[in-house]
Amino acid sequence: DYTAQPFVPDRGGLPALRAAAAECRGCPLHRDATQTVFGAGKASARVMLVGEQPGDQEDRQGKPFVGPAGHLLDRALAEAGLDPADAYVTNAVKHFKFTRAEPRKRRIHKAPTLRETAACGPWLAAELDRVEPELIVVLGATAGKALLGSSFRVTRVRGTVLEEEIHGRPQRLVPTVHPSAVLRADDREAAYRGLLSDLEVAARALA
């Protein structure tokens, strides 16, 4: 089955991982995307934020959360009192998956399958191994399933501090909704306040 595993170096820090991930062909998603979008931030970061997959802007710029969802996330992090310098930001899947309504038209985000998410899992595991965050903020269902399994339901556990074993290591996690879901919500203000209050739980857990 698809897997990134043979591409993941077992030595070296984040720069070695990032360089190797640029060459990953562990699943078919590398074919249509522009580039691998690896995580960003310092190995000393106290908190790791895990999203779904890069979007259109991230695919062009090669950095996670630099588009509209990222701007919303930055605002919410600042308001919750989480220092971006303390955060390592990444995605469950490192390549942009999309469809086009018509040739040469706008690229429309498409959710990764469980198979693609599982294939990319070794990169996320390697990032966790190098960063060893005190807390993981889980942004939405794809990240939740990648880290906690397919029974994960964001509505059931959002805004709580979970203690789970991840890759053999005890880990604290705070799940919340994906910032893109806030942008799509009918009541954006209410959805934003929900995201913010979950991030405040994360900020208190770190304090």
Residue 91 binding: pick among ligand SF4, ligand URA, none (C-beta 5-8 Å cut-off by kind):
ligand URA
Residue 20 touching ligand SF4 (CB under 6 A): no
Instruction: Give the one residue of 39, 64, 133, 194 binding ligand URA; rule: CB under 6 A.
Output: 64
Among 51, 112, 121, 133, binds ligand URA (CB under 6 A): 51
Binder of residue 4, out of ligand URA, ligand SF4, none (CB less than 5 to 8 A by kind)? ligand SF4
Task: Please provide the distance, in angstroms rounded to a whole number, between the alpha carbons at the two ends of the chain.
Answer: 42
Binding mask 165-194 for ligand URA (x = CB under 6 A): ---------------x--------------
Residue 144 in the binding site for ligand SF4 (CB under 6 A) = no
Contact call for residue 117 and ligand URA (CB under 6 A): no
Distances (CA, A) of 3 to 50, 120, 175: 19, 6, 25
Burial class, 95, CB count within 10 angstroms (exposed 0-12 / middle 13-18 / buried 19+): buried
Under rule CB under 6 A, residue 122 binds ligand URA: no
The reply to whether 115 sits near ligand SF4 by the rule CB under 6 A is no
Q: Which of the ranges 14-22, 58-66, 78-86, 144-152 carries the binding residues for ligand URA, by CB under 6 A?
A: 58-66
Candidates 21-29, 59-67, 182-190, 199-207: pick the segment binding ligand URA (CB under 6 A): 59-67
Query: Cα dihedral sign for 34, 36, 42, 45?
Result: positive
Radius of gyration of the chain (CA): 16
Told to check if 21 binds ligand SF4 by CB under 6 A, we report yes
Burial pattern 26-57, b for ≥16 Cβ within 10 A else e, equals: bbebbeebebbbbbbbeeebbbbbbbbbbbbb
- If residue 21 lies in a helix (H) or strand (E), which one and from where to where? helix 14-21
Single out the segment in contact with ligand URA by CB under 6 A; choices: 45-53, 99-107, 152-160, 167-175: 45-53
What is the Cα–Cα distance from 60 to 49, expressed in whole angstroms? Answer: 21
Distance CA 108, CA 76 (A): 25
